Chain A
Amino acid sequence: MSTHKLTIEFIINGQKRKIETTPFTRLLDLIRDDLHLTGTKEGCGKGECGACTIIMNHQLVASCLVLAPQADGAEIITIEGLGEKGKLDPIQEAFIETGAVQCGFCTPGMVLAAKKLLEENPHPNIEEIKRGISGNLCRCTGYKKIIEAINLAAKRLTQQLEEEKGKEKNV
């Protein structure tokens, strides 16, 4: 089958990219195979497990259920876009500290779901955390430590914010 090629443009992890793709390429495959950003995982391929979770246009989405051309003009964050060189995001640190990572396959999606949740709701209760990560399956941890990690990250981020505010005042 001859497949129509098309060129799309988007911003991924702060970088502008222009790339040739097809109408039948999933965004997940473009991210992994063409951009070699393999932090994003494929689990079920049907939007049930959340391993392929990314943030697209400020929203949590399953990249296995997005066609590559649908991301034309979008702003995308994958797990590689978190933290800075040599410094992890506070959410990633909290996951390590609480032991919320076992096999690690769900972790990129889980961390991004946590990031989105804490952006929208900086002080979530347990039920809100559960709802925030309800699209992400983990078969190792039983979720307990993941929930602990998100709780810890919420505290750290609030603390960080207060410290920054304090500094501003002192200036």
Chain B
Amino acid sequence: MKNQEGQYFSPQQIPEALEILSKYGKEIKIIAGGSDLLVQYHDRLYEIAGWLDLKNLTELKKIELNSSEVSIGAMITHSQLEKSPQIKNYFPILSRAAAEIGSPQIRNRGTIGGNIVNASPAGDLLSPLIAYEAKLVLLSSDEKNIIPAEQFFTGPKKTILKPNQLLTQIILPLPPQNCYSSWVKVGKRKALAISTIALAMVVKMSEDNQIIQGAKVCLSSIAPTPLEIKEVREEMIGKTFSQVNFTKLAQLVEDKISPIDDIRGTKEYRKEVARRIMIHCLEEIYSCWRDKCLPIN
């Protein structure tokens, strides 16, 4: 395993991949689907010293379900996330977010692991993952770290991932029976849109489906990293839906974000839209909850 210039590694086993990273992690690029990496480097591929291609790591291409959690391999593509019956059933907004990424061509190649590691402030899967309380498994040849997804991102395209580490799995705790979620992505066109703003919301109810026990609202494209508005929790937890003021919560979301002006939208636009999509998500969740509560005739 000599590192000649322009080396290409495609190991079959995870330990072998970790070994390669511990030796050459600082020089080489890890490639999964390539749908972000080859766009970034499309005119300067020659700058890359070498590749670690994950395509043969079948261990990373599985979605596994046990009694308390679902483990998603980092090489699962957006198309697979979109179509997986388990993901659709337990984590519907993750499936919906995956279905709206890029185009069929992009969804067939791009992976969940790549979306996370690329750490774009507009990464479409990131806010649903944080709203569902995802944890990330980071492996190196000497240790295994499991961290909450929100701690992974430090800035635009910046994460805590070390050169010798590989993101291998995304772990999602199974939601309780009464769990409701909603997701909105606002972009300039239907396909291939980089989001101007997106919001994911997950509400967990008590066993009798009356009291709100968990509430997570996470937005993307409004800060250097995906951002949870933690204040929403305090306003919702322990209450019933009738005790929650939607207008006030939406105003809270608008007040807590400080987006920037960029090519996809101004600060003012993003703040206004944040408020409106928060109302939309609350109403969607409320109507799903109400439909479930109504007696079936």
- A residues contacting B by CB (< 8 A) are 1-4, 6, 22-24, 26, 45-48, 50, 53, 59-62, 64-67, 69-70, 72, 113, 116, 131-132, 134-136
Alpha-carbon gap, A134 to B109, bound state (A): 15
Whether, in the assembled complex, B162 has its beta carbon less than 8 Å from a beta carbon of chain A, the answer is no
Interface contact A4-B104, CB-CB below 8 Å: no
Residue among B5, B31, B104, B192 having the largest count of chain A Cβ atoms under 10 Å:
B104
- A sample of 9 more A-B contacts (CB under 8 A), given A60-B105, A70-B34, A135-B106, is A3-B6, A4-B4, A4-B7, A24-B48, A59-B79, A65-B106, A66-B38, A70-B55, A134-B191
Interface contact A134-B192, CB-CB below 8 Å: yes
Complex contacts, B46 vs chain A, CB 8 Å? 1, 24
Partner of A67, one of B7, B31, B39, B191: B31
B41 nearest CB neighbor, chain A only: A24
Partner of A3, one of B5, B79, B106: B5
Complex contacts, B33 vs chain A, CB 8 Å? 65
Whether, in the assembled complex, B35 has its beta carbon less than 8 Å from a beta carbon of chain A, the answer is yes
Partner of A23, one of B6, B34, B38, B191: B6
B190 nearest CB neighbor, chain A only: A134
Number of interface residues of B (CB under 8 A): 32
Complex contacts, A1 vs chain B, CB 8 Å? 5-6, 46
Whether, in the assembled complex, B265 has its beta carbon less than 8 Å from a beta carbon of chain A, the answer is no
Interface contact B104-A69, CB-CB below 8 Å: no
Chain B's nearest CB lies how many Å from the CB of A88? Answer: 23
Alpha-carbon gap, A69 to B79, bound state (A): 22
Complex contacts, B103 vs chain A, CB 8 Å? 47, 50, 134-136
Residues of B76-118 whose CB lies within 8 A of A: 79, 102-106, 108-109
Complex contacts, A132 vs chain B, CB 8 Å? 104
Complex contacts, B109 vs chain A, CB 8 Å? 61-62, 65-66
Alpha-carbon gap, A142 to B142, bound state (A): 56
Chain B's nearest CB lies how many Å from the CB of A150? Answer: 14
Q: Which 8 A-B pairs have the closest CB atoms?
A: A135-B103, A134-B191, A23-B8, A3-B6, A4-B6, A62-B105, A135-B105, A59-B108
Whether, in the assembled complex, B19 has its beta carbon less than 8 Å from a beta carbon of chain A, the answer is no
Residue among B7, B50, B105, B109 having the largest count of chain A Cβ atoms under 10 Å:
B105
Alpha-carbon gap, A67 to B192, bound state (A): 21
Partner of A2, one of B5, B106, B108: B5
Complex contacts, B102 vs chain A, CB 8 Å? 47, 135
Complex contacts, A22 vs chain B, CB 8 Å? 6
Interface contact B50-A50, CB-CB below 8 Å: no
Interface contact A67-B38, CB-CB below 8 Å: yes
Q: A4-B5, A23-B8, A134-B192 are in contact. Are A64 and B38 (CB under 8 A)?
A: yes
Complex A-B: 14 CB contacts under 8 Å = A2-B5, A4-B7, A22-B6, A24-B48, A26-B45, A45-B42, A47-B103, A50-B103, A60-B104, A66-B109, A69-B51, A70-B55, A116-B104, A132-B104
Interface contact A47-B6, CB-CB below 8 Å: no
Complex contacts, A136 vs chain B, CB 8 Å? 103
Q: A23-B51, A48-B192 are in contact. Are A65 and B8 (CB under 8 A)?
A: no
Interface contact A113-B104, CB-CB below 8 Å: yes
Interface contact B55-A62, CB-CB below 8 Å: no
Alpha-carbon gap, A50 to B109, bound state (A): 13
Whether, in the assembled complex, B10 has its beta carbon less than 8 Å from a beta carbon of chain A, the answer is yes
Whether, in the assembled complex, B53 has its beta carbon less than 8 Å from a beta carbon of chain A, the answer is yes
Complex contacts, B48 vs chain A, CB 8 Å? 24
Partner of B51, one of A46, A50, A64, A67: A67
Alpha-carbon gap, A50 to B108, bound state (A): 13
Interface contact B104-A47, CB-CB below 8 Å: no
Interface contact B191-A47, CB-CB below 8 Å: no
Complex contacts, B7 vs chain A, CB 8 Å? 4, 23
Interface contact A24-B108, CB-CB below 8 Å: no
Complex contacts, B106 vs chain A, CB 8 Å? 47, 62, 65, 135
Interface contact A4-B39, CB-CB below 8 Å: no
Interface contact A26-B38, CB-CB below 8 Å: yes
Chain B's nearest CB lies how many Å from the CB of A139? Answer: 15
Interface contact A69-B105, CB-CB below 8 Å: no
Alpha-carbon gap, A53 to B104, bound state (A): 10
Complex contacts, B45 vs chain A, CB 8 Å? 24, 26
Alpha-carbon gap, A58 to B51, bound state (A): 25
